[in-house]
Amino acid sequence: MEERLQKVLAEAGIASRRKCEEIITAGRVQINGEVVKTLGVKVDPELDEIQVDGRYINQQTKIYVLLNKPKGVITSSADPGGRKVVTDFLPGIKERVYPVGRLDYDTEGLLLLTNDGEFAHLLTHPKHHVPRTYQATVKGVPHGTILDKLRNGIQLEDGMTSPAEVEYADVNPQKNESIIQITIYEGRNRQVRRMFEAVSFPVTRLRRIKFGPLFLQGVPRGKYRHLTPAEVKELKEEALSTHNIQKGQ
């Protein structure tokens, strides 16, 4: 993302923003090998090579983590009310990371966090359709026509849901309970819960088990792991390709 040069320098810890302006006008800064003395020039710290007095400024290390979020935790970096937040579960991460989309307070499972704003934007933008798979526990056993409704689209107050994949994962007649696996291609607020409420099978437990090519499996509750560079690449590619499919390309 492009930002003003003096802001980028200040955020890289070179000096205060005011002092960075002086450094720029003094001709001490180069962008992609060219001296730049004008204030207000915009740069992308991820793409442009920026030097001060011939030294490259610190580029921020990109961090991508997959957390198995427990229920009863807020998807946020801080809570003024003192409740637990997802970043409380990343003790080894010093960088400031932000959630990619959100899971409700009571939803568990796969949540990505990163300090790469562009990556987060790409994955959560409504024009991209990265599949998200959830296991929803409901009271009772919804029959086939109910599942068909969920598959074909449910009228919610913010519009019709797009086609989803829906199947039984488990049925427990003793407990009068079933687990339904649902894959949606949108990320609307409380979407899965609202879809099941609309067919009168409120969700009692919700867990995200898959996001694009990534699985929750192998990460214990409340723990996290780093994504591999290959996984980051695959996610980006999936977001871009789902955009193309939607546009019929």
Pull the structure tokens for residue 183: 């894959």
How many residues sit in the footprint of ligand URA (CB under 6 A)? 8
Minimum Å gap between C-beta 49 and ligand URA is 40
Least CB distance to ligand URA at residue 2 (A): 32
Active site residue 48: no
Question: φ, ψ for residue 76 (rounded to 5)?
Answer: -165, 165
Residue 104 within binding range of ligand URA, rule CB under 6 A = yes
User: Catalytic residue among 48, 79, 88, 104, which?
Assistant: 104
Binders of ligand URA in range 176-195 (CB under 6 A): 190-193
Choosing from 107, 135, 137, 161, the residue that interacts with ligand URA (CB under 6 A) is 107
Tell me whether residue 14 or residue 209 sits nearer to ligand URA (CB atom). Answer: 209
Site string for ligand URA, 119-158 (x = CB under 6 A): ----------------------------------------
Minimum distance of ligand URA from residue 187's CB (angstroms): 7
Alpha-carbon dihedral 83, 73, 76, 205, rounded to 10 degrees: -140
Which residues belong to the active site? 104
